[in-house]
């Protein structure tokens, strides 16, 4: 599933191509046809992201809400658009570009009230300018869950997925099973700034990169898939050389080092 950086990158790119423009919206597959009729020919004022959710705002009252889930995929084209391929739920076309959206987990037209209520249910998103780390700190204090599980909870922190979770905990040397409330304030401040920085790098390079130029001795634009991460799906800990441990936490596999990450 795409993590928050992909969604914010999409919002940024879509804002550039479609923001402020009048767009044609259709549903070649048919499942979004009724809603498409209500927004087609209107001005798409802005595109925004919160965690793994995308919002396309039309006027004051209409928001196209998209959550890609596991299988959702955008394909971008320069106009004129080619014939739709596969089950295209939404085709949105501006003056120079258009996209096809296939297989989203959620794709619906919602009103301003529903938009606000959905956003209230989402946790803080470190990529958003309006995010407040204190809200996350308070939720961690009240939580009974391990930090490794909490980091995947989109109602607590929005946008972090399975790869970022493993990499963040490894870089902070925190054991994934440590309770969230046992994290010190100093560690929390590091957690927040690291998460924000890594997600921002992800948006910029459009992929998850947790190593630095100095770690690998080459520019971040030239990393192989093997080189861009520290611990996720690795066999050996890059720090101590011991075998990387893997266990289920928060319904997904987490990779960590028993030796380097402390309770």
Binding stretches for Zn ion (CB under 5 A): 237, 239-240, 257, 259-260
Query: How far apart, in whole angstroms, are the C-alpha atoms of residue 51 and residue 125?
Result: 6
Least distance in angstroms from the C-beta of 260 to Zn ion: 3
What crossing angle do the helices spanning 4-18 and 185-205 adopt, rounded to 10°?
50
Tell the smallest beta-carbon distance from residue 243 to Zn ion (Å): 9
The two structure tokens encoding residue 19: 């923001």
Tokens of 146: 């391990």
Choose the catalytic residue: 3, 104, 128, 176.
3
Whether 3 is catalytic is: yes
Which position among 12, 181, 207, 252 bears the catalytic label? 252
Closer residue to Zn ion (CB): 214 or 235: 235
Q: Count of CB atoms within 10 A of residue 112's CB?
A: 13
Quick one: 9 or 175, whose CB is closer to Zn ion?
A: 175
Q: Based on CB atoms, which residue is closest to Zn ion, 41 or 241?
A: 241
Is 167 designated active site? no
28 a catalytic residue? no
The residue whose Cβ lies closest to Zn ion is 237
Nearer to Zn ion, 74 or 256 (CB): 256
For tokens 């570009």, the residue is: 97
Active-site residue (options: 9, 28, 52, 146): 52
Q: Alpha-carbon distance 58 to 67, whole Å?
A: 18
Decide if 252 is catalytic: yes
DSSP characters over 13-46: HHHHHHTTEEEEEE-TTSTTHHHHHHHTTEEEEE
Which of the residues are catalytic? 2-3, 52, 252
């Amino acid at each position: 599933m795409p993590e928050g950086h992909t969604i914010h990158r999409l919002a940024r790119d879509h804002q550039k191509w479609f923001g402020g423009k009048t767009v044609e919206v259709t549903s070649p597959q048919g499942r979004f046809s009724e809603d498409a009729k209500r927004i087609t020919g209107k001005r798409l004022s802005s595109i925004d992201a919160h965690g793994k959710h995308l919002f396309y705002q039309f006027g004051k009252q209409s928001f196209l809400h998209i959550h890609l889930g596991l299988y959702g995929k955008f394909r971008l084209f320069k106009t004129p658009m080619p014939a739709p391929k596969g089950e295209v739920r939404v085709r949105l076309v501006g003056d120079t570009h258009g996209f096809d959206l296939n297989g989203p987990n959620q794709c619906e037209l919602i009103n301003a009230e529903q938009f606000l209520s959905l956003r209230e249910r989402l946790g803080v998103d470190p990529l958003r300018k309006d995010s407040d780390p204190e809200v996350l700190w308070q939720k961690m204090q009240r939580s009974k869950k391990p930090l490794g599980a909490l980091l995947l909870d989109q109602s607590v922190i929005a946008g972090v997925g399975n790869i970022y979770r493993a990499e963040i905990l490894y870089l902070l040397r925190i054991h994934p099973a440590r309770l969230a409330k046992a994290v010190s304030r100093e560690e929390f401040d590091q957690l927040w700034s690291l998460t924000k920085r890594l997600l921002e790098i992800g948006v910029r390079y459009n992929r998850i990169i947790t190593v630095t130029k100095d770690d690998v001795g080459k520019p971040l634009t030239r990393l192989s898939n093997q080189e861009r991460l520290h611990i996720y799906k690795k066999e050996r800990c890059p720090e101590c050389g011991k075998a990387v441990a893997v266990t289920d936490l928060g319904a997904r596999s987490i990779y960590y080092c028993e030796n380097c990450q402390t309770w």
